Copies of this chain bind each other. A is one copy, B any other.
Amino acid sequence: MFRRVLIANRGEIALRILRACRTMGIEAVVAYSEADRESLPVQLADEAICIGPADAKRSYLSAPALISAAVITGCDAVHPGYGFLSEDETFAEVVRAHDLTFIGPSADVLDKFASKEGTRRLLGSHGLPTIPGSDGMLRDDAHALDEADRIGYPVLIKPSAGGGGKGMRMVRTPRELESAIKICRSEAKSAFGDDSLYLEKWLDDNRHVEVQVAIDRFGRGIHLGERDCSVQRRHQKILEEGPTPALGPAARADLAERAVRAVVAAGYENVGTLEFLVDRDGNPYFIEINCRIQVEHPVTELLTGVDMVALQMRIAAGEPLPLTQSDITLEGHAIEFRINAEDPEHDFRPGAGVVTRYHAPGGPGVRMDSHLYEGYEVPPFYDSLLGKLVVWAPDRATAIARGKAALDELLVEGLTTNIEIHKALLANEAFLDGKMTTNLLDRVGSAAFLAAAARA
């Protein structure tokens, strides 16, 4: 196992990785930008090293800065967390070239699964149902229009690189397509440095269900059940839960087993997540794979008792999976609430500032993953995630009640958060019935949700 790991990330995931290191007896070195000098992971680290200015391009996105930091602090591995360089095959390769272990899939694996469209074909060829889409990347507008006609509107324009909703648009007519495609190209270009786009059949009222897998260097793979991430705003997940209310036990097991079989056959390695859209009739369509630890991994941890970050590190260190599929049992129900510094009453405008008060909820079945502390100044330069409140209970109804109580105990003052939208969700009929679809929050609008909660 590693002796010393450089944590090449920030915020709650840097803290999460640091906590995993503590339980594994690994020293944790936190690389931080000038804007994160006071962050909790920096203060808790065995060592912290400033790698650059606030601008992520010169710090968290700078391979030389990160690797140089790992070298001079005597680390033997680098954990990229999520986002930033976590799925960058070039970074993974340079890390390896400096005799450091990249905690994630190898560069070859990342390269193989880099293109979403290519991955769809690959896993489709290994038996995963995929969503009808364009024949390869869109060469030009004419090609786009032809393909959209063939697939049938509405269609979703998606960038080949990146994620998180950037460069993504749903269009219902050729006219909308023509205008949207330009915006998507420029968004994708600026966000990922790659403006190649493809089309996908748009499924109205779909659910987002993803399967968590873990595969070791020896090609042995297991799944750890699925997560339902249908509660989204503009393709951004804000609440995740497991098991999914969308599928029955048999369908869930079948989906998870097919998913792990396919990625093992396709040569995937390390932890990963296969995302599926599930249509009204419960048919799953594979859409993409995430080759990293995910924000919502605690849902799986509460259901299985498995430390996903520790598991990821063991796999990266070349250890065989310490678990077989039969060791994995999913107990009860878990819900994760993403606590973001954004204002639901003002179109989720992101916020920053000093946390003047912070009080975390506690008690049975309540877990808080947050880098906040009272007096901490949230910098304006990065994403708006302040932390994750995750609750577990034997059943979904109890988990919802526990989530309500925990959200009432949680205090975050000094900046506006989306806590109210979560309370509103827990009072929303569609959510309570387990009928949320990825478009519902955008269609109904946050205002309606908040109003509903006020009445409740």
Contact = CB atoms under 8 A, between A and B. Distances in A.
Interface in A365-388: 365-370, 373-374
A23 B363 CA distance: 11
Contact of A363 (B367, B373, B409): B367
A393 interface: yes
A140 to B, nearest CB: 49
A22 B404 contact: yes
**Most B CB atoms within 10 A — which of A23, A374, A405?**
A23
A303 to B, nearest CB: 11
A305 B394 contact: yes
A80 interface: no
B359 A331 contact: no
A22 B426 CA distance: 14
**Most B CB atoms within 10 A — which of A44, A363, A405?**
A363
A307 interface: yes
The contact size tier of chain A is 35 or more
A16 interface: yes
A28 to B, nearest CB: 10
A276 to B, nearest CB: 26
A376 B262 CA distance: 55
Chain A at the B interface: SS class = mixed
Contacts of A19: 363-364, 402, 405
A366 B364 contact: no
B374 A405 contact: no
Interface in A214-256: none
A367 B369 contact: no
A366 B298 CA distance: 12
Contacts of A369: 362-363
A360 interface: yes
A44 B408 contact: yes
A23 B398 contact: yes
A401 interface: yes
Given A23-B405, A359-B373, A362-B367, 5 more contacts: A22-B401, A23-B393, A305-B331, A363-B367, A374-B374
12 contacts: A19-B364, A22-B401, A25-B401, A44-B408, A44-B409, A305-B332, A359-B373, A360-B360, A362-B368, A362-B370, A363-B369, A374-B374
